[in-house]
Structure 1
Amino acid sequence: MFFHKRINRNGKVSRKIISRVIQNHPILTMSLIGAFLSVIIIGVTAKWSLISSIIMPEYTLGLYNRAFWENFMVEAHGFLLDFIMFGILVFGMDRLRMSREQRSKTIRRQREETERMEEELSDFAALDLPEVNVKKVGHIKRLQRLGVRVFDVTQLTINRCNIKELVFTSGSRLIGLQLQNGHMTEIKFDEVAMRSSFFNNTKIKSCSWTKCDLRNLVLKDCTAKGVKFVECELTNADLRQANLTAAKFNGSSMEGVKFEGAVLNRADLGNVINLDLNALSLAKSIDYIYLDLELLKELKKLKPNMKISESISGQWGIEPQHQQIDCTVDTIVASECN
């Protein structure tokens, strides 16, 4: 009984597999059937003398005689040709047409869905309600899964939300973006216009801005250890009370930036433009900051208690190797980066 059940069960599984193959690959199925018929018909015809002499040498039943079967084999070749021409080629072309239509419908449906979500993002961009903000973040994630990387939404408000693993590429306009009291992880902004954006009291981790327009950016009271601003326009940015330990500002324009109360330990300000050293000296902590040597010497005069060190190569502002700390780790003790 046990083996009988196993055989039945295996038989059902086999039938399901065969049925699935036939449904999903009809052209392949018909090709296999055509090949099987071709082997039988051509094989019997080629060995007709041998087969007819063994199976039915002189046997006759009504019209079923040797001549009938010879004519039958001739007609079988006509059937095989019709099967190949109409059963496989015509059916295959029809299946290809149906596949193209299905792909077109799928693309059109995705385009309509994309347009709908983009319209909803624009319509409800400035509305600041928890459930609406969550829906807007959901739309952004779904659009990104559909391959959308360029967004044009002004005054987009997603306060108190958690966003991660998103990419915004060149051509995007996120002017006035607001993500306050939220979390932002592994977000990349490449050549994005997002001036007057607000990230007050937001925790930012593993995020980068490259060649972005960040004029009037507000990072007040946020935690943004190790973030990167590469060749960005940071004019009049507000970094007050922000924890920017080990942040990188390479090649960025920093005219009019507010640093009061900010933590910039081990921050990299190499090749920055229009940096106001008086404003930078108002930061809470700038220990072991990386800065051009001449600027660092002037900054030391403005803030004598800042910690600096001189490496063997003569480059100032680099923390001694035995004191360096990875300030991008979430579990770091606050006193180590303050």
Structure 2
Amino acid sequence: MAQTAIIEAFGGPEQFKLVDRPVGEPGPGEVRISHRSCGLNFIDVYQRTGLYPLNLPHALGMEAAGVIEAVGEGVTHLKEGDRAAYAAAPPGAYCEARVMPAAQVCPLPEGVDFETGAAMMLKGLTVNYLFHRTTPLKRGDTVLFHAAAGGVGLIACQWARDEGITLIGTAGTDEKCQLALDNGATHCINYRTADFKAEVAKLTDGKGVDVVMDSVGKDTFEGSLDCLKPLGMMISFGNASGPVPPVNIGILGGKGSLKLTRPTLFTHIADHAACQQMAAELFAKVTSGAVKIHIDQRFALADVAEAHRTLEARKTTGSTVLTLG
């Protein structure tokens, strides 16, 4: 039996309840993993509220790290006793142990502890596809990155610095802006005290940026489009402020033949080999010291509701983990 955080109805954090669930044995292509730490992400909020619907009741959580307890037939990249971490579907990481598909579970290097592993997989793999797999980026390019002091944002700031990319961040307080700057952002705009669109125009001499990476959604979408240079790419990869309203595709032509995409991590990691390669690239960034994972909040699994409240109130910086044991 494994203690597991589930929801039986969509709604606020009060919907969480802890139950004991049988774990079972892995079938073909599966592993059983005993978790040491679980990650917290905004996608978990979208699933809890029903923005991304699930069949209920359902456990939540998309990333964790722990030890492989058993492997099913056909699994060759993992064995019993291996340290491992993942960002993977289906949801269900908020638990002490689970049986799950093995393809997106990755061997965790010895130099990376379990909390770091749990805190970085979904966020770090997201940064990987944003910078390497969505549109060509090269040294000297300029990116506007919203929520630059969050879990994904702080990794992105460091990733950009390591690869010679100018990153203009936005954040909601001066302290968060300083955190982004300390982690490699070239500039950071406090969007509560300044118009980020006007500030980006000043910082780029009116030229605009090559790429916008926007996980905020509704509140920043239109302004983000206006920050792009002609032929620029808008990457909308989240909805923290709510879903983006329907878009008249014609505005992209009027604003300079812009490109718009709405990617998801789980498309990029659906292929086993691609997932393992992306994880290896992320681990290399972390073990080399180019990227440091900031774990700024820790909650016990029993306090998962409070963890969600804190995340939704925008009171977090860096990554948040749920601890087990």
TM-score band w.r.t. shorter chain: under 0.3
Structure whose residues are more often strand by fraction: 2
RCO greater where, 1 or 2, for CA within 8 Å and sep 6 or more? 2
Structure whose residues are more often helix by fraction: 1
Largest Rg, 1 or 2: 1
TM-score (norm 1): 0.25
